[in-house]
Structure 1
Amino acid sequence: MARLSPTRRVAVLACAVGLAAGAAAATPAYAETPEVQLTLSAGTVEAGDTVTVTETVTNVHDFSVLQPTARLFSEPTVLTGYTELVDCTGAVSCSTVDGENGPIGYQAVLPEALSARESATVTFTLRTAQDSPDLQETIQGRLSGQNYGSELVDGPVLRVDGSADVGVRLDVRPRFGLFNGRLEFTVRLTGNGPAVARDVAVTTTLPQGLSATSGNAACVPSAGKVTCTAEEIAAGDSTALGFSVRLGLASIGLPYRFTAARTESSPQDPEAGNDTAAVECTVLTHLLVSCADAPTGSARS
């Protein structure tokens, strides 16, 4: 066999290296396709809002995955602890995944076996709890099947803004009358955000011997108090709720103090300093009532 000259040996070696490099470049793209890919419709949501999680699973192996299922979790808080499953698309059925102490995530059963190199996409629609605290969660996914289960894969971070500050103010306007004088109160609630405040309740305590009336369902009088409610208050918005207190002949010369305090709302209210407001009124005569803001021991809104 003829021997190659040193020059030709170098040329042949270079050609071999070139072919090897070309073969590496021609490696199919599926070799770099991750088994689980996760995306969020929004990285930050307010408590009570919905968010969609899109999970794409790929069978990166040479065998078919039987009864393939896309699973969804989060850490450090279990996903079912602060969300509920509203809907899912791209699957035959969706349900919760149970752990040792109850549900810990969600799963979507795919319609067919997942062949080698085949991908499938499922979209989960989740609603965060209205009373959720501030959270920062890593969304995780996994491809599971009758004959295979992938490692748990970390995806994007979901932040839940679980706070909504509500400022409370109490205003009063005397209405004079010889026998039917009254005080007309306005409870003003201001949403300071960042989230929408929901199911807000403010209770105004009444001095002994006085009772209230209200012309609307938002303020409900009961013995010694009036409770006013608002379903939602968005950040930057405010709502005014009213009731009246009648003053009788026995009220002359007496000082009265009325205190309004937030007693309920969701999500959590991070600022307690503006949850209470008070006014003091003194009935001087049937036709003269003096009222002024009163200190509450904390900052006013």
Structure 2
Amino acid sequence: MFTLLAAGATALSVAPAAAAPPSSSADVNPATVAQGQTFTVTEQIYNPQDFTVTFAKAALYSTPQAITDVADLVSCTGTTSDCFVYGSSFRAPVGDLPPGESRSVTFTLRAKEDVNPGTVTLQTQFVGDNYAFDTLAGPELTVTGTPKTADVGVALAASSRGSQITYTITATNSGPADATGIQVSSTYASGLNYGGSTACTRSGTRGVTCTIAALPSGTSKTVSYTANTGLLTLGPLTTTATRQASTPADPNAGNDSASVTCNALTALLVHC
């Protein structure tokens, strides 16, 4: 507040204008939930423009994991029609929103049973058919419970001695859960003959199956087998390894396979 003084006049106090609310904001209740638990997010949207935003909607996101991967939409209130999923967001329509007016909607959500424990930052946005405002950071939501997935990745290396190749498979569990029943299959190159292994068994034509009973989160384990060249083996020899099974579910297929190529210079000399 400040005061204006004029000669011979009474002091006049003038209060500063109130700041306009943000175009969108939200509150979450409760801020910590267990897997499968219901919670609410109340989002407010405000139109600071000098024109009406048509078919206005409150949009709800989260980062680093999408809100649609964290929770399921149960219901919503304060809307003109049903809420819906749009890409990685939930959206609540409120009709046309004139200048200077606001609306409030409440999403009722349920944390997914299979979502991994962790914390996300909720994000809000006021969007319409004729205008969209910036996405703004909101409160944090924490999900507690037992990890439901285990990211088991596979790497493959090879070393040679004379005509024999040793293939080493490394399985790494990046978590968050411990993994059990890991099964990795490997297909060795045409022109090779199975040598042997203490941890893997031969399966089918040029196939090897390796089993790891348990792999705690954040650990790795290696298994190996050997293959030998034949009298007519020459040229590049490409072998692959692929995760075939593990428990619980693996969320990342991108690291499930690996390959390595050796080169048979002669039937008795292989370079890897």
Q: Provide the TM-score with structure 2 as the length reference.
A: 0.49
Highest Rg: 1 or 2? 1
Structure with greater strand share of residues: 2
Structure with greater helix share of residues: 1
Q: Provide the TM-score with structure 1 as the length reference.
A: 0.45
